[in-house]
Every structure is written in C-alpha cells, then in structure tokens.
C-alpha cells in the first residue's frame, strides 16, 4: 500500500481547501480527509475522527498507511474565549496525541499550524520579528505558544519531523467565517455583494496581518515539501503577506462597488485584535525555504469579488 497523507480537521476553513489542493497535487487516492462530522462532499476518502481520541487516530493512520499528517483541528480565537477550557483541551491534547505517534515512529512528518495569536500586547507591533516577546492574552494564543514549545521539544528530544507556520488572518471565497478575530475580512466581501453594506466588529483603523488563502495553501504545502535541512525553525515560522485595516479594505471594495458602506461597532474581539501585531517580519521563512507571497490587497479583492459574484448568480 502506498504511503498516504491525512488531514485532521478537514472540515474547517483551511482544511477544505487544503484537501482539494493536496488531491490535485498527489491524487485523490493518496489523501485521507477527516473531521468530527462526516463530509459527503469530500473529494477523497473521508474518516470521522475525533482528534481527542488517540486510539482512533492511530487506527486510521495504520488502516491507510498514513505517513504524513496535517493537524488542523482547533478552536479559534473568538470561540475559544467563550469556552476557554474546551479551547485549551482541544488545541493541546490533539497536538500531543499526534506528536506521540511521531515519537513512536507511526508517522514520519507533521504539519501543525500556529498563529499570530502567540504574540501579545507587549510584542513589537510593527514588523514583528521571528524571535520576540510573546505573552499571549487569549486562550487560543496561549495554546498555540505552548504548542510551539511542544513541537520544538519533540524535535530536539526525539528527532521528529514537525513543521509549523504562524498564520496571519486568512481570507477565502470558498469558506465562510469560522470564529476568528480576523474573519471580518471574509464576511465584509459577502455582505458587500449581498447588501452593499457591512457593520464591522473592529474599529476602522485596526491594522492586522492578513493572507489570501491561495498563498496560505502554497506556504503550507511548500514547507512540507521543503528538504528537512532547510526547515531550521521547529517551533513555528513567522509568515506574512499583507496588512490592512477595515477602512482600507472598505476603500478597495468601493472601487468595485461604489455604493458600498461600512459602519463600525467594536465588540469583545477588538481587545483581541489590539493585542496582536500589525505587520510581520517573515525573513526566516523567505530565506530558509523560499517562501514568497503572490497576492496584495487589490489583487485579492478583485479575485474575491469575482468568485463570490459568480457564486451568487
């Protein structure tokens, strides 16, 4: 049996599109998708799988001869703040379950996503460097920072091949908002086309690091395809593309939809956003394994509105 790839958390914002991309690159028969709920639309074999169930993960991995895992199951920032104990438990124990399988040499390679949420209010906000003060102030960020330390520990102690990226906010026309603080930048396009207006839960000048999903997928698969000796950071790499505020994205949308209007009503997510960086320095990722983004705010907006517009017709 050929060695296969397993995506855990395939029903999420990143997971659905990552599965599609992996199937395109490696073939449908080489990819196994999994989540806690069935997905009848999955292009490949799908397994119902709870990331908290270590035995079930091992069973699926052995059943399909999986040697490479993308572990995406997580409770995102805003949702985890509502259910902090659940957020910590899911985000931590799921990672440790898979790291243990790596230590036991059941699988060979793991991708686990971190986030800009690992940074906190005392982190330099502009051009945030790879190595800096973190001190996250959310359960999501705390769990991601702890996860980075676990990944690095397992690499140094047991030699496991674990790879990670600190995702900025991710924007996609294929996936609805998923409970993250940066998700306004997805919802705003949907509302602009559907109603010509949007009420933003962040203030007009809240600048955050963002990335268009095609770039995020290239980065994710790119770091997994890189030679092991080029992946020099085993906690998690900074990853960057574009930074903008709600005011700036609204202005870009108005170039396409002149009558579009935006209003602002900051809620609890404002405090989370205020604790995060405005821009990220990802020099190490660009130098070590050749990362480079393709999309800017204008090209992303044109592409988002084009695809969402087609979907509504």
Structure tokens at 270: 């404002």
Cα 72 to Cα 15, 92, 252, 277, distances in angstroms:
7, 12, 31, 23
Structure tokens at 160: 């496991």
Please give the Cα distance from 217 to 221 (Å, whole number): 6
3-class SS of residue 67: strand
> Helices (H) and strands (E) in the chain — how many of each?
11, 14
Taking the C-alpha atoms of residue 272 and residue 117, their distance in angstroms, rounded to an integer, is 9
Sign of CA dihedral 260, 263, 269, 273: positive
Given the residues 70, 140, 184, 295, the one annotated as active site: 140
Largest pairwise CA distance in the chain: 59
Classify 309 as helix, strand or coil. Answer: helix
Contact present, 10 and 37 (Cβ < 8 Å): no
Q: Does 237 qualify as catalytic in the annotation?
A: no
Helix (H) or strand (E) holding 214: helix 213-225
Q: Hey, what are 133's tokens?
A: 């003060």
Cα–Cα–Cα angle for 70, 73, 77, rounded to 5 degrees: 125
- CA–CA separation, 138 and 140 (whole Å): 5
Residues taking part in catalysis: 140
């Amino acid at each position: 049996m050929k060695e296969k790839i397993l995506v855990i958390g395939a029903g999420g914002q990143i997971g659905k599109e990552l599965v599609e991309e992996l199937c395109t690159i490696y073939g449908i028969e080489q990819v196994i998708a999994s989540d806690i709920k069935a997905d009848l639309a999955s292009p490949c074999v799908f397994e119902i799988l709870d990331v908290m169930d270590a035995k079930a993960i091992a069973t699926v991995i052995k059943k399909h001869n999986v040697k490479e895992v993308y572990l995406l199951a997580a409770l995102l920032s805003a949702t985890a703040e509502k259910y902090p104990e659940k957020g910590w438990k899911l985000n931590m124990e799921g990672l440790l379950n898979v790291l243990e399988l790596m230590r036991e040499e059941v699988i060979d390679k793991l991708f686990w996503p971190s986030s800009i949420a690992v940074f906190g209010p005392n982190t330099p906000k502009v051009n945030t460097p790879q190595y800096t003060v973190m001190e996250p102030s959310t359960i999501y960020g705390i769990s991601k920072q702890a996860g980075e330390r676990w990944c690095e520990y397992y690499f140094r102690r047991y030699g496991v091949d674990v790879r990670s990226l600190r995702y900025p906010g991710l924007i996609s026309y294929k996936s609805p908002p998923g409970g993250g603080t940066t998700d306004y930048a997805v919802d705003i396009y949907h509302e602009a086309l559907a109603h010509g207006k949007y009420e933003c839960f962040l203030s007009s000048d809240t600048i955050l690091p963002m990335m268009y999903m095609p770039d995020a997928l290239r980065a994710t698969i790119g770091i997994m395809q890189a030679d092991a000796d080029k992946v020099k950071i085993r906690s998690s790499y900074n990853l960057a593309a574009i930074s903008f505020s709600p005011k700036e994205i609204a202005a870009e949308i108005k170039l396409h939809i002149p009558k579009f209007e935006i209003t602002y009503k900051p809620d609890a997510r404002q405090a989370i956003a205020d604790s995060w960086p405005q821009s990220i320095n990802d020099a190490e990722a660009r130098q070590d394994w050749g990362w480079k983004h393709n999309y800017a705010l204008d090209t992303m907006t044109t592409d988002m509105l084009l695809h969402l517009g087609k979907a509504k017709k």
